[in-house]
Amino acid sequence: MKTRRNFIKTTAAGVAGVSITNRTIDDWFNPFQYGSRHFHAFTKCLQFLDYDEMAEVLARNGFDGADLTVRPGGQVLPENVESDLPKVMKALKKAGIGSDMIVTNITDADHPNTRPILKTMANLGIKYYRMGYIDYNPKISIPENLDRFKTVFKKLEKLNHSYNVTANYQNHSGDRVGGPVWDLYYLIKDCDPQYMGIQYDIRHATVEGSMSWPLGMKLLAPWIQTTDIKDFIWNKNENGEWIIQNVPLGEGIVDFKKYFELYKSLQIEAPVSIHFEYDLGGAEHGQKEISMRLDKIESLMKKDLMLLKNELPR
For the segment 232-251, what is each residue's pLDDT rounded down to a tens digit? 999 999 999 999 999 999 99
18 sits in the region (left: phi over 0; alpha: psi -120 to 50; else beta) called beta
Question: For residues 180 and 26, what is the distance between their CA atoms, to the nearest angstrom?
Answer: 43
Question: For residues 180 and 178, what is the distance between their CA atoms, to the nearest angstrom?
Answer: 6
Note down the domain range covering 89.
4-135+225-311
pTM of the model: 0.88
Q: Report pLDDT for 312.
A: 81
Domain assignment present for residue 217? The answer is no
Domain assignment present for residue 90? The answer is yes
Domain assignment present for residue 189? The answer is no
**Cα Rg of the chain, angstroms:** 19
Q: Report pLDDT for 1.
A: 37
Q: Report pLDDT for 36.
A: 63
Query: Residue ranges of the chain with pLDDT lower than 70?
Result: 1-36, 314
Number of domains present in the structure of the chain: 1
Question: For residues 134 and 95, what is the distance between their CA atoms, to the nearest angstrom?
Answer: 35
DSSP string, 224-292: EEEEEE-EEEEEE-TTS-EEEEEE-TTSSS--HHHHHHHHHHTT----EEE---S-STTGGGT-SS-SS
Question: Which residue type is seen at 154?
Answer: K
Crossing angle, helix 114-123 and helix 142-163, to 10 degrees? 40
Contact present, 169 and 131 (Cβ < 8 Å): yes
Q: Report pLDDT for 119.
A: 98
Domain assignment present for residue 214? The answer is no
Domain assignment present for residue 274? The answer is yes
Q: Report pLDDT for 249.
A: 96
Domain assignment present for residue 284? The answer is yes
Cα-Cα-Cα-Cα dihedral sign, residues 70, 58, 165, 221: negative
Q: Report pLDDT for 26.
A: 46
Domain assignment present for residue 206? The answer is no
Question: For residues 115 and 225, what is the distance between their CA atoms, to the nearest angstrom?
Answer: 21
Q: Report pLDDT for 27.
A: 45
Q: Which residues of 221-236 are buried (b: 16+ CB within 10 A; e: fewer)?
A: bebbbbbbbbbbeeee
Q: Report pLDDT for 48.
A: 97
Q: Report pLDDT for 76.
A: 97
What CATH number is attached to the domain comprising 55? 3.20.20
Q: Report pLDDT for 314.
A: 64
pLDDT digits (tens, 9 = 90+) for 133-161: 999 999 999 999 999 999 999 999 999 99
Domain assignment present for residue 200? The answer is no
Strand-strand pairing, 231-236 and 242-247? antiparallel
Contact present, 99 and 66 (Cβ < 8 Å): yes
Give alpha helix (H) positions in 96-201.
114-123, 142-163, 182-188
